[in-house]
A and B are shown apart, each in its own frame.
Chain A
């Protein structure tokens, strides 16, 4: 199989415009003859569903939550990047492109990233027109703030709830189309398989989470907008329901899975307190604008802090190590996420961690409160401080926050070409669900940008080209592939429900998470990954013997839902480990201890690894086949990332 990314010819800055002209169009009168399936209603899904319906296509949208408004995009805090240069501080489309490519440690496609930067400006216009209440200056114009990995202020925000406001904007556009009858919305409905007819995606199989009914849905194209797979780690900042099932089942039907090992570990999360913990809570990266990250200089001081013999405020200035400011004077606390996370881990490994468990560092606002006043700090970060207080029972206005990295985002995902099409024609992947724009590390405030870019401004153009090619002939729901795929789903559910062992699904999930975090987390080695592979295989085999799945299909059954999702994570986990083992270099969020600079930074091996690793499913419990898409850099010069 050769991977054709279909990147348009011509100069970087003209590719997208030229491509838009070259793409075939669907005549307005014909659009209503096409049915489009959109799975997931986060930023990518809701914006795609609404925009395609506005164009005239018939859209069927699906989400497993009780309302499209609850998709996990809602929880994004910090902001959304756009190359508006409203601050007159030297931003441009090219600079956003450059920062994103560099931030991704040169493992993303130039053309995709440039297009992302280009349409970023349209996103802000669109959201404002919908009534999204972004933060404003007293003059009435939009405010910006700075974010990690950039030296300009290009991040638009709505207090600490930017994702919520953007999603509610997209949700409102979706609602308008539902009201008009152009989108048919299916809530509490989970996609369990893709139907492939003669090599093309023509529909999906779903399960109603209320009645258990298994349904088939036909469509001329299927758009997966189902988010990332961070919950493979059990503990992550993802929502409890976030899962890989839709993407994984598509993978098993032929869609390649690219760069699965690229995981973002976010530096500023609230540390773990115990085994009961079900999720980790992120503290927005924007906090690093004013908060200073530090650990005690000596192990002895750290020891006393851990035993609560000392308070943070007792530690004198000269006994504190502001390690990010010390090591990276030009970016300071605003280094990219992967760099900040690894440095926090280093402190803990060095036995200088704080808090009862010793697995945390400080994020301190004392200076900011002195400089700006408590009210100004509260206006910027009030809701985050409240959230911290609720969870930890500690007041961040009077003592520093304790933070530690946690899994937050997955850069890997379904392989897509420039048109966001997977290698299965008719099957598209948008947003976090695809692998395309963030390389090996995503910069802050870029996930919202990518989700909305894909949904509002890319897919409405690129999908039309495919639809015009296949023509508006209705999809034949009687094709045997539909009945066959449905039966396979029914059988699979029966197999899960037959599991009446002794160990809960949650226990398997937690064990898998511990393996992934230990061996495929912030630091990875060939030895550890090899060990993890064996552990995951054994755990998976045990799951299919000893797990307990409760109840029946024909009812609300959270136990069954959970079991299906964990079963998929148990397969994905092994592929992530394979990918991490194959990629014998460090890049961005993928840190192989064998490959680092003398200063301990990620050391890439461009000669051997400047490619996208896309994996092909070859059957249950079979090794997957690796396909490589070479990454050619015509515009940026590959260098060792330097944030010093």
Chain B
């Protein structure tokens, strides 16, 4: 099939960007969306035109590197997949597809469709861990965890850190991302000692990075490729207020 692409091109963070129209010709329905872009790029290179830059790596929906905003949806129109898992059979001949980078102040454009998501790493660095060193830990089966709790923690832990939640949110809020880690560790016994300091530290960093707040639109949940649910945000708010009201002192120890 043949398609028309309207692609955001931007040389770097300092330069203004604009949409450029390309033809994507001879596209097979079995191609993934990224493979379709590969084909377009190969033809651009043959014409000595600059190829379209986009982030990608594993191409199987788990690394969280790919990040396209396609016709107004992060990772395209389908539920619970990433762009690299989106196949061209979703589209039909003659269609026009608009492709943009994630749009958020905290995610500046690096080039074309790739953005800088290092803010996410800094939030994790602020407290997204259990403070244990290598070695000297108890036998794994000494910590019994009810299966339902372990499963729920796992559901939160499946976040791939792609940033679709931020791209989907009108406030560019990162609360789904942050709350997924807060919830995973907050549910597990291993996470209890730092539960309240963690949530304060991570939320503080989130605010510092310039992400917006949650106003319960639920766009993040609808667009999340791993179907992280909004209850994570509920849990995080609960822990956060509990910490702010009763346990404020812990955060200082944590950040020393």
**Interface residues, chain A, with chain B CB atoms under 8 Å away:** 47, 50-51, 54, 65-70, 72, 74-75, 84, 86, 122, 124-131, 133-142, 158-159, 161, 164-165, 168, 171-173, 175-176, 178-179, 185, 187, 210, 237, 239-241, 273-274, 276-279, 281-282, 386-387, 390-391, 393, 456-457, 460, 500, 502, 504, 506-507, 548, 550-551, 555-556, 558-559
Contact = CB atoms under 8 A, between A and B. Distances in A.
B134 A274 contact: no
Interface stretch (B92-100, B152-160, B214-222, B233-241): B152-160
Majority DSSP secondary structure for residues of B touching A: loop
Contacts of A161: 62, 158
26 contacts: A66-B116, A70-B64, A70-B65, A75-B58, A75-B63, A84-B141, A126-B135, A128-B190, A131-B130, A131-B185, A136-B147, A140-B146, A172-B124, A173-B132, A178-B125, A240-B59, A273-B28, A273-B30, A387-B85, A390-B61, A390-B81, A457-B135, A550-B48, A555-B11, A556-B110, A559-B51
Contacts of A239: 57-59, 63
A571 B64 CA distance: 31
Given A129-B138, A140-B144, A164-B62, A67 B117 contact: yes
Contacts of B190: 128-131
Contact of A390 (B85, B125, B126, B138): B85
B245 interface: no
Interface stretch (B1-9, B38-46, B167-175): B38-46
A372 B30 CA distance: 32
A187 to B, nearest CB: 7
A179 B205 CA distance: 12
A42 to B, nearest CB: 11
Contact of A556 (B12, B35, B147): B12
Nearest to A175: B125
Interface string B172-190: 0000000000001100101
B45 A559 contact: yes
Contacts of A179: 125-127
B60 A387 contact: yes
B253 interface: no
Nearest to A500: B48
A551 B49 CA distance: 9
A179 B80 CA distance: 32
B13 to A, nearest CB: 9
A548 B45 contact: yes
B63 A72 contact: yes
B56 A277 contact: no
Contacts of B56: 240
A17 to B, nearest CB: 14
B16 interface: no
B35 A129 contact: no
Given A126-B137, A179-B126, A559-B51, A135 B150 contact: yes
A277 B89 CA distance: 15
A127 B188 CA distance: 13
Contacts of B144: 139-141
A75 B82 CA distance: 14
B210 to A, nearest CB: 18
Contacts of A124: 140
B101 interface: no
Contacts of B121: 67-69, 175, 185, 187
A274 B64 contact: no
Q: Which among A133, A273, A278 has the greatest number of chain B C-beta atoms within 10 A?
A: A133
B30 A274 contact: yes
Interface residues of B, number: 76
A218 to B, nearest CB: 24
Nearest to A275: B28
A615 B143 CA distance: 47
B51 A558 contact: yes
A636 B209 CA distance: 57
A504 B134 CA distance: 46
Nearest to B189: A131
A278 B35 contact: yes
A386 B55 CA distance: 23
Interface string B114-132: 1011101100111111111
B135 A122 contact: yes
Given A173-B134, A274-B28, A504-B46, 11 more contacts: A51-B133, A66-B118, A126-B135, A128-B143, A159-B154, A210-B110, A273-B28, A278-B38, A391-B32, A548-B45, A548-B46
Nearest to B158: A161
B45 A65 contact: no
A504 B48 CA distance: 10
B118 A75 contact: no
Given A210-B110, A278-B35, A556-B12, A172 B129 contact: yes
A552 to B, nearest CB: 11
Given A66-B116, A276-B38, A131 B188 contact: yes
A74 B11 CA distance: 30
A65 to B, nearest CB: 6
B157 A168 contact: yes
Q: Which among A122, A457, A460 has the greatest number of chain B C-beta atoms within 10 A?
A: A122
B189 to A, nearest CB: 9
> Which 4 A-B pairs have CB atoms at the shortest separation, nearest pair first?
A140-B144, A172-B129, A129-B137, A133-B154
A66 B184 contact: no
Nearest to A129: B137
Contacts of B151: 133, 136
A188 to B, nearest CB: 8
A125 B133 CA distance: 12
Contact of A137 (B87, B135, B147): B147
A74 B30 contact: no
B31 interface: yes
B145 interface: yes
Q: Which among B57, B65, B120, B147 has the greatest number of chain A C-beta atoms within 10 A?
A: B57
Contacts of B85: 387, 390-391
Contacts of A126: 132, 134-135, 137
Nearest to B162: A70
B124 to A, nearest CB: 5
Contacts of B51: 550, 558-559
B35 A277 contact: yes
Given A54-B133, A390-B85, A67 B161 contact: yes
Contacts of B129: 130-131, 172-173, 175-176
Contact of A125 (B114, B139, B153): B139
A66 B108 CA distance: 13
Contacts of B118: 66-67, 187
B212 interface: no
B199 interface: no
B174 to A, nearest CB: 14
Contacts of B158: 161, 164
Given A158-B154, A187-B118, A556-B12, A129 B59 contact: no
B28 A276 contact: yes
A96 to B, nearest CB: 16
A177 B80 CA distance: 33
Given A129-B190, A140-B145, A281 B153 contact: no
B244 interface: no
Contacts of B116: 66
A175 B181 CA distance: 13
A558 B114 CA distance: 12
Nearest to B130: A131
Contact of B191 (A131, A134, A164, A237): A131
Contact of B50 (A134, A136, A551): A551
A274 B190 CA distance: 47
